[in-house]
Structure 1
Amino acid sequence: MISRSSLARHAQQAARRSWGAPSLQQRSFAAAASSGAFETSDISGLKVASRDAHGPTTKLAIVAKAGTRFQPLPGLTVGLEEFAFKNTERRSALRITRETELLGGQLAASHTREALVLQASFLRDDLPYFAELLAEVVSMTKYTTHEFHEDVERVLRLKQNSFYHNVPAVALDNAHSVAFHNGLGASIYPTPATPYGKYMNEEHIASFADAVYVKPNLALVADGAAPENLSKWVGQFFKDVPASSQSGQKFGSEASKYHGGEQRTSHTGGNAMVIAFPGSGYTAPKPEIAVLAALLGGQSTIKWSPGYSLLSKATADISGLSFSATNIPYSDAGLLTVQLSGAAASVRQGAEATVKALESIANGKVAKEDISKAIANAKFNALDETQLREPTLHLVGSGVVNTGKAYEPASLVQGIENVTAEKVKAAAKTVLEGKATVSSVGDLFVLPYAEQIGLRV
């Protein structure tokens, strides 16, 4: 009997010979790491962003302009995600799984409000195989009836039920709906009550794929691939990806518009509130919003210390409360959020403390030292994001596919360095004077209305 290790070794050797890939002995990882910036190019009409730190592994991702913001019917983005890496016209799902395992690779599919991400992680020499596989997924996937009912629909229902019982996630999802209505307000996962037969089936998913899996809507992002090899294999395997929809269909989204308002949802699984305001987007960044989020704060960055942030100090005596302040950026909008979860009474106290903290900033009653700390922390967060491989792939790909160039969080740093106490004060005053977005999920008898904590909706 042939051992599994022998089988894997022979499969790898045969595959690499057929691709003409260099042998392991030819690898050289002694070159210096790159600066971390991605270079963009156009290969056979496909937008490509890449950088090479000369490491032993590579991540390759297709980022499609197919997030929930762009779906014409509920659930289609999730449908595409679940059909990824199933049967194509050339390979069965079993073959894809076995070959990927033999090469030690990893495959993943995920989605955000703006993007669908198909990702492969693998050893550096296996670039040809995974480049070909990703090209097949976007151009040759079979959207079969039996897979939809046996796999996709079943998994989707499990994910929806899991999402519905994640109270903080439901609160954040509701906040987007209230803030933006359509587009960015579309649910990241449709609720379990969504009538699937009316909105989603394998034919609707296939039509959506035909419209979005075209070169203008795609970006290929590579981290850890030599430019000459990437150009060669992408040019060879992606040349047949269509430049336009075969049916002529196009799906898009209107420019985001912030509305604000309040939504309250009774839930027995826990308590959560999201207090949100217009934030900073990628195309028109507002560095003072990043500093404001850092000043409001979240978990302490120093062990055994409550932290410098205003909310850390204000909620130190509130038991059972989890909270975080962050700016969630999108291509043409952003949402500055404070997310609170825990016991209903604790969440109520945290919400009251949030408004008081914003008022103290707007009134200039914050120590200059705390603002300096917030600026330094916001700067660190922007730079640290560029060092994380997977989030960076998503970020860069979304930038390329939406604007033609990579989003570079590091570009925010100069703006953050120029933020002053007056700018932070003005930003806090602006959000308080405008319409807030408040989403409450849980025990509505205890959780406060927006007006009870001093917010306009």
Structure 2
Amino acid sequence: MLSRQSLGRGAQRVIKRQCCVQLGRRGLATPASGSFQYQTGEANGVKFASRDLPGPTATLALVSKTGTRFEPAPGLTEALEKFAFTATERRSTLRIVRESELLGGEISANHSRENLVLGAKFLRDDLPYYVELLAEVAYRTKYENYILNEEVIPTIQKAHKKFLANVSELAINSAHGVAFHRGLGVPLYPASSTPTSKYITLENVQNFANSAFSKPNFAIVANGADQSELSKWVGEFFSDIPASGKAIESQQQKYYGGEERIAHGSGSAMVIAFSGSSSPTGGFYKPEIQVLASILGGKSSIKWSSGFSVLGKQSASSPGLSVDTKSLIYSDAGLLATTLQGPAEYIAKAAVDVVSTLKSIAGGDLNTELFKKAKAHAKFQELEFGQNVKSGLELTGSGLIQGGKAYQIDETAKAIDAVTESQVKTAAKQLLESKASVSSVGDLHQLPFAEELGLTV
């Protein structure tokens, strides 16, 4: 067991506080506002936001604008993710693990197309320790060659193999590639043929880390933490980070559209996508796209039912076929994407249904009852998505970095409430008039071309 002397300042402070309360009361939340509104602020040049939800636990995240969209070379975002919570100048990897175990917390790291997220879940009273830990990971991680070669690169290679075996993930990444080319088109996990060893060098990782954790490029977001407390500890522990770092620049993401077909022997999948909506914190948010996604649908949210969505009912008679339509949102762009996975012959039939449904809506054939159900479902999904701690943290962090705006779920709900049938019909018409992004993976003999579906690519 670690001695008190081996713990960092934050951990010592936490343990000292714990000694002053009864064991049975440890970690119980003090009265909190319970508001789902994020409060924002800035301490020592670091943007932060908190949502003081009632409860004994808290969640903290450092959101950095260093997803695959912004990486200067393939694999660097993954490498940075894998280096997270390894040895720092003050703590060994083992010590970080043992300290978090003693406090009963959880630590994690993941990346998306736009962000790298370092997260922690813990008892509410342990906020100082985890703010200090994230600050230490951000600017005191020791980037060693042996860690890169023995731990980071082998882990990345395993992730690549897993990715290549998943036909639906391959199709989604392919659709992003033909839709956006570079930027959002960069895959979350490069293919095994990508010469990542050429790019994932210690020098490149260190340079990318310096950029990732400079003050203009990250934000701190918390759920279950008092705003004044978060401000205090962010101001104290992130004071050593240089303020002179350069903001990662990115051009407005351009949509292209196109088609790609990939032969695969482990199943079939197809993605039919169109230019969609940005996130609510972006400048191109279109709530009608979310409603349209619910109308198309595919997956049922109610047991023993195929659901109300058009594609859900049409695919009910195709055993083994999975259909799912989502509005994939990013800071300045998005995709309305329908993913089909299962037997190739059923995918071919369902792909025709996707296009014919859109044409029907664009032509003015939209049942009012269906619209009301889809609108209610879209609102629920958006509220649930925002209430979800993990999603809310990343959306808010990204919003703070990109434009200084936190994600507020009540504003998004109001926007969906205001959507009309006319807006949905117009959106469907505009999608069909623009270029589609179609990706097919699997049995290419049976999977249709975009032109055969009547789509322009």
Asked if these proteins are the same fold (TM beyond 0.5), I'd say yes
The yes-or-no answer on 1:164 pairing with 2:164 is yes
Opposite residue 424 of structure 1, the aligned amino acid is: V
Alignment of 1:94-243 (within 5 A): 94-243=94-243
What is the aligned partner in structure 2 of residue 44 from structure 1?
Answer: 44
Which of 257, 263, 275 pairs up with 2:254?
A: 257
Which of 262, 271, 274 pairs up with 2:271?
A: 274
Alignment of 1:422-437 (within 5 A): 422-437=422-437
- Contact conserved, 2:361 with 2:425, CA < 8 A, in 1? yes
Q: What secondary structure is seen at the aligned counterpart in 2 of 1:100?
A: helix
- Once structures 1 and 2 are overlaid, which stretch shifts more, 221-230 or 352-361? 221-230
Measured after TM superposition, the shift of residue 16 of structure 1 is 4.4
Opposite residue 70 of structure 1, the aligned amino acid is: F
Between the aligned partners of 2:410 and 2:206, the Cα distance in structure 1 is 38
Q: What secondary structure is seen at the aligned counterpart in 2 of 1:275?
A: strand
Opposite residue 369 of structure 1, the aligned amino acid is: E
Q: What secondary structure is seen at the aligned counterpart in 2 of 1:449?
A: coil
- Once structures 1 and 2 are overlaid, which stretch shifts more, 385-394 or 260-269? 385-394
Between the aligned partners of 2:12 and 2:200, the Cα distance in structure 1 is 41
Q: What secondary structure is seen at the aligned counterpart in 1 of 2:159?
A: helix
Opposite residue 225 of structure 1, the aligned amino acid is: A
Measured after TM superposition, the shift of residue 30 of structure 1 is 6.0
Opposite residue 265 of structure 1, the aligned amino acid is: I
Residues 324-371 of structure 1: CA distance to partner in whole angstroms, max 9, x if unpaired?
111011110111100110111111111111111111111222211101
What is the aligned partner in structure 2 of residue 293 from structure 1?
Answer: 293
What is the aligned partner in structure 2 of residue 367 from structure 1?
Answer: 367
- Once structures 1 and 2 are overlaid, which stretch shifts more, 14-23 or 157-166? 14-23
Opposite residue 121 of structure 1, the aligned amino acid is: K
Say if 1:226 and 1:251 are closer, same or farther in 2 by CA, change over 3 A. closer
Between the aligned partners of 1:225 and 1:427, the Cα distance in structure 2 is 40
Between the aligned partners of 2:64 and 2:13, the Cα distance in structure 1 is 32
Measured after TM superposition, the shift of residue 45 of structure 1 is 0.7
Measured after TM superposition, the shift of residue 427 of structure 1 is 0.8
Say if 1:218 and 1:14 are closer, same or farther in 2 by CA, change over 3 A. closer
Say if 1:325 and 1:239 are closer, same or farther in 2 by CA, change over 3 A. same
Between the aligned partners of 2:353 and 2:56, the Cα distance in structure 1 is 48
Say if 1:34 and 1:269 are closer, same or farther in 2 by CA, change over 3 A. same
Q: Any unmatched runs of 5+ in structure 2?
A: none
Alignment of 1:294-333 (within 5 A): 294-333=294-333
Between the aligned partners of 1:440 and 1:308, the Cα distance in structure 2 is 27
Between the aligned partners of 2:80 and 2:145, the Cα distance in structure 1 is 14
Between the aligned partners of 1:219 and 1:11, the Cα distance in structure 2 is 26
Residues 3-46 of structure 1: CA distance to partner in whole angstroms, max 9, x if unpaired?
x6x989x9899944577646445866362542211100001110
What is the aligned partner in structure 2 of residue 73 from structure 1?
Answer: 73
What is the aligned partner in structure 2 of residue 417 from structure 1?
Answer: 417
- TM-score normalised by structure 2 residue count: 0.94
What is the aligned partner in structure 1 of residue 400 from structure 2?
Answer: 400
Between the aligned partners of 1:12 and 1:303, the Cα distance in structure 2 is 50
Residues 146-188 of structure 1: CA distance to partner in whole angstroms, max 9, x if unpaired?
0000000000000010011111001000100100001111111
- Once structures 1 and 2 are overlaid, which stretch shifts more, 344-353 or 146-155? 344-353
Between the aligned partners of 2:339 and 2:3, the Cα distance in structure 1 is 50
Between the aligned partners of 1:318 and 1:55, the Cα distance in structure 2 is 45
Residues 225-275 of structure 1: CA distance to partner in whole angstroms, max 9, x if unpaired?
122322222111110012134xxx764322100000000011111111110
Between the aligned partners of 2:29 and 2:321, the Cα distance in structure 1 is 47
- Once structures 1 and 2 are overlaid, which stretch shifts more, 80-89 or 46-55? 46-55
Between the aligned partners of 1:196 and 1:420, the Cα distance in structure 2 is 48
What is the aligned partner in structure 1 of residue 354 from structure 2?
Answer: 354
Between the aligned partners of 2:400 and 2:17, the Cα distance in structure 1 is 29
Between the aligned partners of 1:192 and 1:39, the Cα distance in structure 2 is 43
Between the aligned partners of 2:190 and 2:133, the Cα distance in structure 1 is 29
Q: Any unmatched runs of 5+ in structure 1?
A: none
Residues 265-291 of structure 1: CA distance to partner in whole angstroms, max 9, x if unpaired?
111111111100010102221111111
Measured after TM superposition, the shift of residue 409 of structure 1 is 3.8
Opposite residue 449 of structure 1, the aligned amino acid is: F
Opposite residue 279 of structure 1, the aligned amino acid is: G
Q: What secondary structure is seen at the aligned counterpart in 2 of 1:370?
A: helix
- TM-score normalised by structure 1 residue count: 0.94
Between the aligned partners of 1:75 and 1:352, the Cα distance in structure 2 is 37
Between the aligned partners of 2:97 and 2:175, the Cα distance in structure 1 is 38
C-alpha root-mean-square deviation of aligned residues, in Å?
2.1
Measured after TM superposition, the shift of residue 97 of structure 1 is 0.9
Opposite residue 277 of structure 2, the aligned amino acid is: S
Between the aligned partners of 1:18 and 1:336, the Cα distance in structure 2 is 46
Between the aligned partners of 2:32 and 2:210, the Cα distance in structure 1 is 42
Opposite residue 151 of structure 2, the aligned amino acid is: D
Residues 357-396 of structure 1: CA distance to partner in whole angstroms, max 9, x if unpaired?
1111112222111011111111111111222111111111
Q: What secondary structure is seen at the aligned counterpart in 1 of 2:63?
A: strand
- Contact conserved, 1:399 with 1:405, CA < 8 A, in 2? yes
